[in-house]
Amino acid sequence: MGELSARVALLTNKDLEVGKVFSVWIKLTEGSVFGVTGSIFLAFSAPILAIAILAYIYVAYFMGENFKRSNYRFPRFRLWTHPVLVDGPFGVVSAVEFIGIILFIIYVLWSVIVYLIHDHKLIESLHLTVKEISCFMLEITGLRLGSIGMFCLAFLFLPISRGSIILRMIDIPFEQATRYHVWLGHLTMAIFTLHGLLYVIAWAMQGKLLQEIQEWNDIGIANFPGVISLAAGLLMWVTSLRPVRRAYFELFFYTHQLYVIFIVFLALHVGDFIFSYAAGAIFLFVLDRFLRFCQSRTTVDVVSAVCRPCGIVELVLSKPPALQYNALSFIFIQVRELSWLQWHPFSVSSSPLDGKHHMSILIKVLGKWTAQLKNIISEQPQKDLQSKFNGISASIEGPYGHEMPYHLMYENLILVAGGIGISPFFAILSDILHLTGEGRPCIPKNILVIWAVKKSAELSLLSTIDTHSICPSFSNNLQIEIQTYVTQESGPSLEDGVSHEKMVLPPPLTSTSNPMSCLVGTGHIAWAGAYVLASTTGFILFYALLELYYLTPFQVVTWWYRGLLFTICMVSSVVILGGMVIFFWDKWEKRRQKYERLMENKDERKSTVNKTISTTPDFSKEDLSSVQTVHYGSRPDFRAIFSSYAERMGHVNVGVIVCGPPGLQCSVAKECRFQNTSGRWNNPIFHFNSHSFDL
């Protein structure tokens, strides 16, 4: 390193004394077996891991009680369901999200300003030339941006953990949290890019650019690993931009796997103790990723596969009765005949009350992957209903989604869908119909469905809900209204409303069936908590043994090497100790499934003996087509619809759930904001919720 770089490093070390509280903390804790690395880890990463472990207790014992106490019957604003921004780079932003964005921006700006003021005072105490001052400011500003970027990195990996217990605790589903990852990703990479660029300019001004870039220091920051990490990050960043991602999704998907290179070489770049700033969130991501890997090793039986005339593929997948999910869940599916690497998310279209042994998804044929899937299914010979479909080998990750079924918290619901966005609403309607038909407590009473489609052929999808068997006379207890808008047809066709599709009933689960695995972060709470606790304990234990028997006795002080060993300890604890918990968890789940099948077979034999046949015909059966109104050649006028609904309902809470393209979400959010701020005291309070997955 040159003289100027040495001065920057020296001043940085002195700068630690500015944070007096942090300095005292380091002095109190660095004498432990973990050293300075343990002090920083305890201050920044340990709280995240402690919150994660405590979150399992909260979700297990208190989450359900809070849901029961939640009262959405009294109209009032809620910051997390009131849209503030509806147009712009962030999409639809609620009041809570807007506050979070502002606070994060304030933190970044405040940090930059404080550092600049502090560094300006340092320059005044030095006797440097103008060129040296310029290079000094460039290097030290780059250093400051690097530290700010590490702070942002600590939050970057939290939203991308699909089964994150922290997201479950605050009831933010993964499909909604992905946009927080996108926002933080843009901010983090912008900061890291500027961090590297400032150093490059400073080194170029000093005439030692190539020398510094290729430098791999044993003591201090190793530059070359940082270059590799930044290059991997830039590839991920550029291919994740919306125009590139939409046009070349596979390129975006494959380059995003470079996160492994990004993380490992970042640890080599900064060493173990600086890496500890963000290690907690990265460790939780590794936990989630390994659990997803274990779950996806199971090949799941496709009970039935149907290609509908409207360009929709319906898959019915085998699942164990113990797998819990709610009507607003989604899964990731991999079809090995198409790709061993690609995973695609789809909303679950069946209610958990539809059947204990199966789960349905609807897939719109839009791109290359879905077109190939349709071709495979179409080429398979038709079989009888009691045999499973053998045309594809599917693997599943999930289900994921809201911890609590918030659609059951509103007495009045407005469901707005665009095209195949109706899929999760079928699960909602089926869920409500089951509860009503079985006489169980059900808050929703008034449901308005607004569905926009391009062609009338899609109307036949309503037949996927078998109201005859679920709730034959639902109009006695429910007020359901379906307003459908066919945008690209001026009038009904000859076969409009006529469905030639037969209801495909899934065959019973047999002892040879392969259901999806219950090894999922949102699965059995005790086992999932034990997995996190064992892995965290193992991580601390492995690093302590490493310090005691290797790093300290052999005086290993090389930063990049310690960073590599630190990363290996993280991964090893998850794979070894976490893997042991997963092994016993899997064995326990299989035994439970075997016992449940045995008990079900006994119950089936008893029910067969006591079975009676009713010969009384039921003339009161209804279906959803009887409550559907179809409008041709027009789009929904949300101002007129919501205003009319407001006059009719009065001062009540209305849950609005939207599933569709960004333009549809913005239109509905804008109308909710307008209605809520119109100033009329007797208007409903519209609570905006989005259920759209946008990678």
- Determine the Cα–Cα distance for residues 591 and 450; give it in Å rounded to an integer: 45
Sole residue written with tokens 């101002």: 639
For 214-246, give the DSSP string: T---SSS--HHHHHHHHHHHHHHHHHHSHHHHH
What pLDDT score was predicted for residue 49?
93
Q: What CATH topology corresponds to 299-486?
A: Elongation Factor Tu (Ef-tu); domain 3 (2.40.30)
What pLDDT score was predicted for residue 532?
95
Cα atoms in the Cβ-side hemisphere of radius 13 Å centred on 245: 12
- Determine the Cα–Cα distance for residues 516 and 399; give it in Å rounded to an integer: 10
What pLDDT score was predicted for residue 695?
58
Q: Are 660 and 86 in contact (CB under 8 A)?
A: no
- Determine the Cα–Cα distance for residues 533 and 536; give it in Å rounded to an integer: 5
What pLDDT score was predicted for residue 614?
43
Domain boundaries along the sequence of the chain: 1-293, 299-486
Listed as ranges, residues in the chain with pLDDT below 70 are 1-31, 64-73, 381-390, 493-513, 603-622, 694-695
What pLDDT score was predicted for residue 506?
47
Strand extents, DSSP E, 284-439: 300-308, 312-318, 329-335, 344-347, 358-364, 389-401, 412-418
Sole residue written with tokens 């770089």: 5
What pLDDT score was predicted for residue 390?
67
Residues 344-367: b if buried by 16+ CB within 10 A, e if exposed: bbbbbbbbbbbbebbbbbbbbbee
User: What pTM does this model have?
Assistant: 0.89
What pLDDT score was predicted for residue 509?
45
What pLDDT score was predicted for residue 23?
63
What does the DSSP 8-state code read for residue 318?
E
Which residues, in sequence order, are CB contacts of 535 under 8 Å at separation 6+?
283, 287, 573, 574, 577, 578, 581
Q: Are 398 and 331 in contact (CB under 8 A)?
A: yes
What pLDDT score was predicted for residue 619?
41
- Determine the Cα–Cα distance for residues 582 and 293; give it in Å rounded to an integer: 11
Q: Are 570 and 286 in contact (CB under 8 A)?
A: yes
Which residues, in sequence order, are CB contacts of 292 under 8 Å at separation 6+?
162, 163, 397, 520, 521
CA angle 136/192/133 to nearest 5° reads 10
